[in-house]
């Protein structure tokens, strides 16, 4: 589900590498959900959420700095979407994860899959041509 596909490429090496890392984090959630055991995975879920939040904050800051440097006109909208994503992760972190682990995992996977489809495949691809016109590789 969270395997890298060429469709995800924005053809900017650093951004593509960062997107790959986000997919890897999502893949860890899927792996947890597939376990179908009765073991408490609270610590792992918390760790994945923390890593996801921290890495997305790093990635978003990098992406926003690049877009700002080249004067991307849709930057304000892009930043709002990023803020919304981080806020959603924070909401998930603040839920009672211990009691509803499988539900949280499933919700996170669905949320990430929707983000990939609607943000990486659409919104991020909107800046791809813009940055390539500026000779950013």
**Interval 69-108: pLDDT, tens:** 999 999 999 999 999 999 999 988 888 777 777 677 778 8
User: pLDDT band for position 132 (50/70/90)?
Assistant: confident
Residue 95 carries which DSSP code?
S
Domain for residue 1, yes or no? no
Number of separate domains in the chain: 1
Question: Would 4 be classed as within a structural domain?
Answer: no
Kindly give, in sequence order, each residue whose CB lies less than 8 Å from that of residue 106, ignoring residues fewer than 6 positions away: 33
- Average the pLDDT over each of 36-45, 50-59, 84-93 and give the range with the smallest value: 36-45
Model pLDDT, residue 19 = 95
Q: What is the CATH number of the domain that holds 55?
A: 1.20.120.50
**Cα separation, 74 vs 77, whole angstroms:** 6
Say if 3 falls within a structural domain: no
Check residue 4 and give its pLDDT. 93
What pLDDT is stored for residue 67 in this prediction?
96
Which domain range does residue 26 map to? 10-133
Residue 88 lies in a domain: yes
State the pLDDT at residue 39: 80
User: pLDDT value at position 78?
Assistant: 95
CB 14 within 8 A of CB 62: yes
Asked whether residue 106 is assigned to any structural domain, the reply reads: yes
Spatial distance between the Cα atoms of 24 and 19, rounded to a whole number of angstroms: 9
In a domain, 29, yes or no: yes
């Amino acid at each position: 589900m969270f395997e890298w596909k060429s469709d995800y490429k924005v053809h900017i090496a650093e951004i593509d590498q960062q997107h790959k890392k986000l997919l890897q984090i999502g893949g860890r959630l899927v792996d947890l959900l597939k376990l179908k055991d009765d073991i408490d995975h609270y610590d792992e879920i918390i760790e994945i959420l923390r890593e996801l939040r921290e890495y997305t904050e790093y990635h978003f800051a990098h992406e926003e700095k690049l877009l700002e440097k080249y004067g991307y006109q849709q930057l304000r909208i892009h930043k709002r979407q990023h803020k919304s994503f981080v806020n959603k992760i924070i909401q998930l972190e603040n839920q009672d994860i211990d009691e509803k682990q499988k539900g949280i995992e499933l919700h996170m996977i669905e949320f990430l899959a929707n983000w990939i489809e609607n943000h990486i495949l659409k919104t991020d691809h909107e800046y791809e041509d813009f940055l390539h016109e500026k000779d950013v590789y």
